[in-house]
Amino acid sequence: MTLLDSRGVPVSTHSREALQHYERAVELSAGYYFDPMATIRRAIDADPDFAMGHCLQAALVVMSTDRSLVPMLASSVEAIETLRHANDRERMHAAAARKWLNGDFAAAVRAYGDIVVEYPRDLLALQVAHVGDFLMGSSTMLRDRIAHVLPYWDNSVPGYGFVLGMHAFGLEECAAYSQAEDTGRRALAINPYDPWAVHAVAHVMEMTGRTREGIDWLTGRENHWAVDNGFAYHNWWHLALYCLDIDDLDRVFDLYDRRIRPVASTAPMEMVDASALLWRLQLRGVDVGPRWQELAQSWEALAEHAYYAFNDVHAVMSFVGAQRFDLAQRTIASLEHKAIGNDTNAMMSRDVGLPLAQALLAFGMDHYSDVINLIAPMRTIAHRFGGSHAQRDLVHLTMVEAAMRSGNARLSRALAAERTQLKPASPFNWRLTARALDLAGDAMGAVKAREKAEIRRKVQTGMRQSLLAS
């Protein structure tokens, strides 16, 4: 017997109870609320042969980037493949998840995208493809894959707000900031409890240097996105970035301790944000106390996973921060071994993950010229190992700090100027520019005193304007 879900997509089950639990689980997943895995288990309990239940369980594992959940992925895929009554869409889900299981992440994302082309109202496939595009660093597909299906969605279709939220993020990653913000606000007008749409607009404000506005944006909607939500830690991370830009370190540490890392979680995506925030503080020379040691201990079990290079690099940050160079070396060795393969993560490791991990270790050992030499060839292709522009900014931040510490005045000035031109409203970028100018000193050589004074005037003006704007 075939039923239809609330968006009119066929589901091969006779159990309306299973379908009801599935609908709830899809909504929880799209909104990153707790707990879609437990909810879909209730659907499978109601109908053990419920194909879409197994499809959703597989999808949740794919989106987690957690190697420890691979056995669950395998059992979910095998369950669908053995069901004679599974329909064509459900078999397409199984085939896409099978590709991920086999390590061909890029093909898996394309396969989930193919489902969306055939079934544009398959909200689950759309979310997995969207998250997959994020994990692959495919900015244009983050935008365009959602655009493919927009003609099939409107206010009458359940989940339309989630679709707009995804489109908003894709637009932001393609620097269509005004359109992204408008779309994100439309999404929230439909569903104010969509943390991905809140996140998309927060990204717009981050990338355009609207620091104070960004703080107000997140704190003013806290009750909508921060309660019982599995994505809250990441929106808290964005709030911490705003606070870091205006040098409010007390609040940054408070956010880390109470919101981003309140417990010793071993979920990779949560540990990534913790590493990324502490590394930004380390680059500024801020003492983070015992936080590195606790985080490195949680990463240690994943040191040799080499499952997703983006995660591995953030593990190395924690190991370097904790002065556990032995663990950093183990992770780098795993990346070296992975890089000789031919699957998607081999490419990610070879092109970005491995040189960046080596650069982080070199930074921890005060080999700053090596950091520059390792990052310079790969920083323009860093998108190949996934993440957002805001997350990958760590690559540039590490390189400019290495240039400063190595005494490379000209490169420091160039990289600082790059940042201030891109985001002139950032107080931190102007502080970097001032540092670079002070570092230059007599190294400016032939630059006349009048020209030096003009550069300093621009720095001072930019700093004043950015502080007013933030």
Q: Which residue has the tokens 């009119």?
A: 8
Q: Determine whether 84 is exposed, middle or buried from the number of CB atoms within 10 Å of its CB (0-12, 13-18, 19+).
A: exposed
Give the model's pLDDT for residue 188.
98
Give the model's pLDDT for residue 2.
79
According to DSSP, the residues that pair with 10 across neighbouring strands are: 4
According to DSSP, the residues that pair with 4 across neighbouring strands are: 10
Decide: 122 and 9 in contact? Cβ < 8 Å: yes
Give the model's pLDDT for residue 444.
53
How many angstroms separate the Cα of 164 from the Cα of each of 9, 49, 104, 160, 452? Answer: 19, 33, 28, 6, 49
Give the model's pLDDT for residue 433.
92
Decide: 428 and 247 in contact? Cβ < 8 Å: yes
Give the model's pLDDT for residue 452.
57
Written as tens digits, the pLDDT of the chain (470 aa) is: 679 999 999 999 999 999 999 999 999 999 999 999 999 999 999 999 999 999 999 999 999 999 999 999 999 999 999 999 999 999 999 999 999 999 999 999 999 999 999 999 999 999 999 999 999 999 999 999 999 999 999 999 999 999 999 999 999 999 999 999 999 999 999 999 999 999 999 999 999 999 999 999 999 999 999 999 999 999 999 999 999 999 999 999 999 999 999 999 999 999 999 999 999 999 999 999 999 999 999 999 999 999 999 999 999 999 999 999 999 999 999 999 999 999 999 999 999 999 999 999 999 999 999 999 999 999 999 999 999 999 999 999 999 999 999 999 999 999 999 999 999 999 999 999 999 988 876 555 545 555 556 666 666 666 566 555 55
Distance, CA of 395 to CA of 375 (rounded, Å): 7
Nearest to 243 by CA among 272, 269, 281: 281
> What is the model's pTM?
0.94
Amino acid at residue number 378: M
Measured N-to-C along each axis, helices 123-136 and 16-31 cross at an angle, to the nearest 10 degrees, of 30
3 state SS for the chain: CCEECCCCCEECCCCHHHHHHHHHHHHHHHHCECCHHHHHHHHHHHCCCCHHHHHHHHHHHHHHCCHHHHHHHHHHHHHHHCCCCCCHHHHHHHHHHHHHHCCCHHHHHHHHHHHHHHCCCCHHHHHHHHHHHHHHCCHHHHHHHHHHHHHHCCCCCCCHHHHHHHHHHHHHHCCCHHHHHHHHHHHHHHCCCCHHHHHHHHHHHHHCCCHHHHHHHHHHCHHHHCCCECCHHHHHHHHHHHHHHCCCHHHHHHHHHHHHCCCCCCCHHHHHHHHHHHHHHHHCCCCCCCHHHHHHHHHHHHCCCCCCHHHHHHHHHHHHHCCCHHHHHHHHHHHHHHHCCCCHHHHHHHHHHHHHHHHHHHHHCCCHHHHHHHHCCCHHHHHHHCCCHHHHHHHHHHHHHHHHHHCCHHHHHHHHHHHHHHCCCCHHHHHHHHHHHHHHHHHHCCCCHHHHHHHHHHHHHHHHHHHHHC
Decide: 170 and 143 in contact? Cβ < 8 Å: yes
Cα dihedral 299, 301, 304, 307 sign: negative
Q: Which residue has the tokens 């393969």?
A: 341
